[in-house]
Chain A
Amino acid sequence: MTTLPRWGASTNARTQAGNHHRGRRLLTHAVIIVAGIAMIYPLIWMIASSFKPDKLIFTEPGLWSSTWTLQNYVDGWNQIGLPFGLFLFNSLIISVACVVGNLFSCTLAAYAFSRLRFRGSGAMFAFMLVTIMLPFQVILVPQYILFQTIGWTNTFLPLIVPKFLGVDSFFIFLMVQFIRGIPRELDEAATVDGCGPIQIFWRVVLPLMRPALAVTAVFTFIWTWNDFLTPLLYLTDQAKFTAPVGLNAFIDSTGVTSYGPMFAMAILSLIPLFIVFLLAQRQLVQGIATTGLK
């Protein structure tokens, strides 16, 4: 009998503590949810607007509409005279090729900078770092002249080929940092087993670089997919448009913009990004944790 009140009291105390704890957690969650909604609201608004008739988008600016329609998707897909799927396909080809290019060239360059000793490696590494700091606008015009002179405008080449030549020094730097974290003893053990530099790269370093590769792949994909200025400059033929340039074809800022179809196609062009992000999420978090990427 005497234990009962004590038991009760202790339960009480525990539930009180639990309640207190839960209350704080609920509050934290509520704050996070509100902040999250505030951030995602523009996207939700765009999704909602893509299902509204064009005329109602700005006259009923809330999320709810009096009429819902799929017409924007039908119109948007065909509006430019070519199916929008073609632009998505172009974007996909370019983005995948850029991912392959960056993975190929940046891993090799990073391996060379971090593991091989050769004359001028320090100076070259410094030079590469300088190119990170070079604003994109500075090289825009010379690059345009170069590609125009060799007749590469209106092809995907100016967008893809540089990636195979290791121009994304940011990723090289990222990988160099990562490889420096891999113990050299592993290389030495491989050398004892008869591996040369190429085999060490292929059998030891590359398999251990997975998180860094994932970060490079995902970011290259997202940046290339979203890039607007470079494809705008080089791809002037409508059949070669990428998704962002295709979306721009809906806009006439001096006249009437077809917002509904544009929102609908913008949502379609977000889907591949979403999928890539979803698939690579775990690798990415690991990659960010291990490479010190911020």
Chain B
Amino acid sequence: MSPSTFSRRAFLGVGAAAGVSLGLAACSGGSASTSTSKSLTVAQWGDSTRAGLYEKATKLFTAAHKGTTAKLQYADLNPYLERLATQAAARKLPDVLWMRDTHIGRYGSAHALLDLSPYFDNQIDTKTLGAAAIPSGKIAGGVYALPTHYVGQATLGSKSLLDAKGIDLNSFTHWDDLAAGATELADPSKGIYGVGDPTVNVTHRHLEAWIRQSGEELFTKGGGVGFTADTVEAWFEFWDKLRKSKVLPSADREVQADSGGSATNFLVTGKAALMMDSSNHLSSLQALTKNPLVMGSIPTVPNSTDDWWFFPPILISAAANTKNPELAAALIGFYCNDVPAAKITLLNQGAPSSDTVRSAIAPALSASDKAFIDQISREQKNPSRALPIRPEGASQLDTILTRTGQQIAYGRQSISAAVAALMTSAKQALPEK
């Protein structure tokens, strides 16, 4: 045996020994659970505050189900989705997971999620969750998600500015009423805008409402473009007219305010009388300003469809790879319907989807929180046709809409040219299946 062969072996030996010993040393910290008790992993997006509330609420479930443990994991939305993608590719999704309405289509049709419909009689009571509950997770015959919470769209307003002109937020039946009111409320000499500009922000729920009111949808059933150029053009024209008459903030001011989040919202800084916003933002905005804020439903187009009402859902799903499907379904039922748990989590994720839960927690809420769930309860009495499942390109469409809004607001493109470009890129992002 030559010396070089020997040394090579010696090297391997040293390396292997060191590796093993280190591995063992480090191993002492970890543990693999092999016990027979049933354990569930639960994943959600959000910050540590939300995680703390759900940790506490979930203990009620594990206490009621002997021999069950639940492990919660959380991360902020984008890292959360990144982790889910890896876990889904490895078929190791957490047993129970909160799901975005923008992603349910992808995960559901990839068979990564559990069909919840077999559990509707025993584990999950869906009767209290509203008419939109089951359609919001229904993909090709199965129900892969249910809403634990809803949010909604609203017109928010500064009470003092509205009162000064004697204008009532709830008198805005049509968008033109809102435009007239905003024009009256605007006071350029004091630097006060009539209404904030919703066309340049990252989400476009108010445009979606406009489209549904016009009898169209954002998406077709096949995941394609469900709206016409005329409808979105009318939307951008509506806002551009207000922008040109200085009722709306200039594009750069609006974009700057949007990027600063709640703290720089024009209602908080007292620079606008009205804002189009999500109804769940009322409380977080109210917390930042002493000016009382008021909220109303959003206006409609003339001759609007009456079943346009919709509530973006916060969805929850179970993984197809779960080893305890009944227990996972029971936990989903728990998050949807359990009143003591909801008294802990309150409105952290939105308005509870169950009307029973909503009325049970109402006494514990602040005035603005109560206004939010009251509006949802009131609006849910309206007819509501099912919202199409958001296809894979849904978030890309949001980006395209923001870009279109900004091109118009900055005056870089005419409205018709910008909308034509929008339709082309939207059709590329949303191929009809």
Q: Which residue of B lies closest to A79 (CB)?
A: B48
Residue pair A105, B75 in contact (C-beta under 8 Å): no
Q: Smallest distance from the beta carbon of A193 to chain B beta carbons, Å?
A: 15
Q: Most chain-A CB neighbours within 10 Å: which of B7, B50, B71, B83?
A: B7
Q: Any chain A CB within 8 A of the CB of B90?
A: yes
A252 to B50, CA, bound (A): 9
Of the candidates A59, A101, A154, A249, the one whose C-beta lies within 8 Å of that of B263 is A59
Residues of B within 8 A of A154 (CB): 30
Of the candidates B23, B30, B284, the one whose C-beta lies within 8 Å of that of A256 is B284
A233-B83, A252-B47 are known contacts. Are A144 and B92 too (CB-CB below 8 A)?
A: yes
Residue pair A255, B18 in contact (C-beta under 8 Å): no
Q: Which residue of B lies closest to A199 (CB)?
A: B7
0/1 interface trace, chain B 257-279, chain A, CB 8 Å (1 if under)? 00011111000010000000000
Residue pair A254, B29 in contact (C-beta under 8 Å): no
Q: Smallest distance from the beta carbon of B86 to chain A beta carbons, Å?
A: 5
Residues of B within 8 A of A108 (CB): 11, 15
A116-B4, A152-B30 are known contacts. Are A55 and B15 too (CB-CB below 8 A)?
A: no
Residue pair A232, B52 in contact (C-beta under 8 Å): no
Looking at A6-14, A122-130, A160-168, A174-182, the stretch in contact with chain B turns out to be A160-168
A148-B90, A198-B7, A232-B79 are known contacts. Are A254 and B46 too (CB-CB below 8 A)?
A: yes
A116 to B9, CA, bound (A): 12
A232-B83, A248-B75 are known contacts. Are A157 and B10 too (CB-CB below 8 A)?
A: no
Q: Any chain B CB within 8 A of the CB of A131?
A: no
A104 to B83, CA, bound (A): 31
Of the candidates B8, B48, B77, B262, the one whose C-beta lies within 8 Å of that of A253 is B77
Residue pair A164, B19 in contact (C-beta under 8 Å): yes
Q: Any chain A CB within 8 A of the CB of B22?
A: yes
Residue pair A117, B4 in contact (C-beta under 8 Å): yes
Residues of B within 8 A of A189 (CB): none
Residues of B within 8 A of A254 (CB): 45-46, 77
Q: Any chain A CB within 8 A of the CB of B78?
A: yes
Q: Using a CB-CB cutoff of 8 Å, which residues 337-353 of chain B contact chain A?
A: none
0/1 interface trace, chain B 54-90, chain A, CB 8 Å (1 if under)? 0000000000000000010111111100110011011
A145 to B7, CA, bound (A): 35
Q: Which residue of A lies closest to B100 (CB)?
A: A254
Residue pair B4, A197 in contact (C-beta under 8 Å): yes
Residue pair A118, B4 in contact (C-beta under 8 Å): yes
Residues of A within 8 A of B92 (CB): 144-145, 148
Residue pair B79, A228 in contact (C-beta under 8 Å): yes
Q: Using a CB-CB cutoff of 8 Å, which residues 32-47 of chain B contact chain A?
A: 32, 41, 43, 45-47
Residue pair A160, B26 in contact (C-beta under 8 Å): yes
A55-B288, A116-B4, A118-B4 are known contacts. Are A251 and B76 too (CB-CB below 8 A)?
A: yes
Residue pair A196, B7 in contact (C-beta under 8 Å): yes
A196 to B7, CA, bound (A): 8
Residue pair A141, B89 in contact (C-beta under 8 Å): yes
Number of interface residues of A (CB under 8 A): 53
Q: Most chain-A CB neighbours within 10 Å: which of B14, B76, B78, B261?
A: B76
Q: Any chain A CB within 8 A of the CB of B27?
A: yes
Of the candidates A116, A141, A197, A258, the one whose C-beta lies within 8 Å of that of B86 is A141
Of the candidates B3, B22, B26, B49, the one whose C-beta lies within 8 Å of that of A196 is B3
Residues of A within 8 A of B15 (CB): 105, 108
Residues of A within 8 A of B89 (CB): 141, 144
Residue pair A58, B261 in contact (C-beta under 8 Å): yes
Q: Smallest distance from the beta carbon of B39 to chain A beta carbons, Å?
A: 12
A151 to B34, CA, bound (A): 10
A248 to B293, CA, bound (A): 31
A141-B90, A144-B90, A256-B284 are known contacts. Are A248 and B76 too (CB-CB below 8 A)?
A: yes
A57-B263, A59-B269, A161-B23 are known contacts. Are A155 and B29 too (CB-CB below 8 A)?
A: yes
Residue pair B47, A251 in contact (C-beta under 8 Å): yes
Residues of B within 8 A of A97 (CB): 26
Q: Smallest distance from the beta carbon of A242 to chain B beta carbons, Å?
A: 12
A108 to B41, CA, bound (A): 41
Residue pair B8, A116 in contact (C-beta under 8 Å): yes
Q: Any chain B CB within 8 A of the CB of A263?
A: no
Residues of B within 8 A of A81 (CB): 48, 52
Q: Smallest distance from the beta carbon of B374 to chain A beta carbons, Å?
A: 20
Q: Any chain B CB within 8 A of the CB of A99?
A: no
0/1 interface trace, chain B 89-120, chain A, CB 8 Å (1 if under)? 11010000000000000000000000000000
In the assembled complex, 10 residue pairs joining A and B whose CB atoms fall closer than 8 Å, in A order, are: A58-B263, A151-B30, A157-B30, A198-B14, A245-B75, A250-B47, A251-B47, A252-B49, A253-B77, A255-B46
Among all A-B residue pairs, the 6 with the closest Cβ atoms:
A155-B30, A151-B32, A236-B73, A252-B47, A80-B48, A249-B48
15 A-B pairs besides A155-B29, A249-B76, A255-B284 with CB distance below 8 A are A81-B48, A112-B11, A145-B90, A151-B30, A154-B30, A156-B26, A156-B29, A160-B26, A198-B11, A251-B47, A252-B49, A254-B45, A254-B46, A254-B77, A255-B46
Query: B-contacting residues of A (Cβ < 8 Å)?
Result: 55, 57-59, 79-81, 97, 101, 104-105, 108, 112, 116-118, 140-141, 144-145, 148, 151-152, 154-157, 160-161, 164-165, 196-198, 228-229, 232-233, 236-238, 245, 248-258
Query: A-contacting residues of B (Cβ < 8 Å)?
Result: 3-4, 7-8, 10-11, 14-15, 18-19, 22-23, 26-27, 29-30, 32, 41, 43, 45-52, 71, 73-79, 82-83, 86-87, 89-90, 92, 260-264, 269, 284, 288
